[in-house]
Amino acid sequence: MLVVVSPVQVLRIMQLLCSQGVHRHKTLPVPAHAIIKPTGGPAALYGYVLSISRTITLNDPKKRNALSLSMLTALRADLLADIDSEELRVIIISAEGPVFSSGHDLKELTSSQGKEYHRHVFGECSEIMTLIQEIPVPVIAKVNGVATAAGCQLVASCDIAVATEKSTFATPGVNVGVFCSTPAVAIGRAMPRKVTMEMLLTGEPISAQAALLHGLVSRVVPEEQLDQETLAIAQRVCQTSRSVVALGKATFYKQMALGRETAYGIACAAMVDNLALRDGQEGVQAFLGKRKPVWTHSTEKVSE
C-alpha cells in the first residue's frame, strides 16, 4: 500500500522531478517513504503516481497544450490507468508552460479533415469530459495560466479547480467563427447562465477572481503557493475512504441532473448504501469511539 506524505515532502519530490526534467519513463531517486511510478502512454502528456495521487501534465507547450485528438487519446489513457486500484485516490491535471490549454487544435478543424473527423474529435472530447466525472476518484485541475475553449471546458469538468491569481478563462471561439457549444455544456453547469452566455457571446476572458466568484474554480492562490495548496487538498482527500468518496461523487453528479424530489430519493438511497459499507460503519464507530478510522477502501458491505 502506498503511503501519504506531507504536502511539504510532496512538494520537495515534485521540485526534484521538475529539476531533473522528468518524463513518464524516467526513474528518479526519491525518499524511501514515497513511491513514484510512470503511468505510460503517448509523449503528449506525462504522468506519475506520487504517494496515492496521480499527476497528469499536459506537456505540449509549443502548441499551447491544445487538446488535439492525440492529446485527448493520451488523456483518456492516463485517466483510466489503474483506475480500479485501491491505491489510487486522487488525480491532478496540470500543464507545462504559460497556457493550461488553448482548447481544440484548429488545424484539425479545417474542412479538409471532413465532418466524420470533426465528429470524432468532438465526440472524443465530450466522452473524456464526462469520464472525468464518472471515474471513482476526485480529479483536481491545477491551473497556472490561460484556459480557453475546450481548455476551459476541462477545468469546468474537474471536481475541484485550483488556479493562480494570474490565470484567465475564456471561450473565444465566436471570434474565429466557431461558437464554443461543447465547452458551454460543462461551463454552463459550473457557472450562472448569464455569465456563461456573456463569455460565449463576447469571447472576452474573465479573471481568476471572477472565475472563483462565479464557481468555475474552487480556490485562487498566489503562484508560489499553487503546488502546496493543490497537494494539501489532495492529501485531505487521501485521508478519507476511497469507497465512500466514489459513492458520494457518483451520487452527486447523478442527483444534480434531476429534479429536487427525485434527487432526494437518489441521495437517500445512497446514504443507506453508504452506511452498509464496511468503511461507512468504521467511520461511525471511530467517531463514537473517539479514535481515527482505519479505512479498507473496499466496497465490502457489513450488511445488505
In tens, the pLDDT along 103-115 reads 999 999 999 999 9
Domain limit, last residue, from 197, 223, 239: 239
Q: Which of 24-38, 141-155, 272-286 has the lowest mean pLDDT?
A: 24-38
115 shares its domain with 235 = yes
| Same domain as 198, residue 260 | no
In a domain? residue 2: no
Amino acid at 214: H
The 3-state DSSP class for residue 208 equals helix
CA distance linking residue 145 with residue 168, whole number of Å: 6
Residue 104 belongs to some domain of the structure: yes
Domain of residue 257 covers 242-289
* Residue 121 within a domain: yes
Out of 239, 256, 274, pick the residue that ends a domain: 239
| pLDDT category of residue 5 using cuts at 50, 70 and 90 | very low
- 248 and 233 belong to one structural domain: no
Is 210 in the same domain as 234?
yes
Distance of CA 170 to the CA centre of its chain: 18
State mean pLDDT over 285-303: 94
Distance of alpha carbon 304 from alpha carbon 292, whole angstroms: 25
Q: What is the DSSP string of 155-197?
A: HHHSSEEEEETT-EEE-GGGGGT---HHHHHHHHHHS-HHHHH
Helix (H) and strand (E) counts for the chain? Answer: 11, 11
Query: Into how many domains does the chain fold?
Result: 2
Whether 155 and 209 share a structural domain: yes
Tens of pLDDT, residues 237-275: 999 999 999 999 999 999 999 999 999 999 999 999 999
Contacts of 34 (CB under 8 A, 6+ apart): 3, 5, 9, 10, 13, 50, 51
CATH number for the domain that contains residue 267: 1.10.12.10
Q: What is the strand order of the sheet 99-101 is part of?
A: 99-101, 146-148, 168-170, 206-207
What backbone phi and psi angles, to 5 degrees, belong to 53? -125, 150
Residue type, 55: T
Place of cell 508552460: 97
More confident residue, 38 or 250: 250
Asked whether 302 and 281 are in contact (CB, 8 A), the reply is yes
Mean pLDDT score across all residues of the chain: 87
Distance, in Å, from the CA atom of 299 to the CA atom of 274, rounded to the nearest integer, reads 10
What burial class does residue 152 get, using C-beta atoms within 10 Å of its C-beta: 0-12 exposed, 13-18 middle, 19+ buried?
A: buried
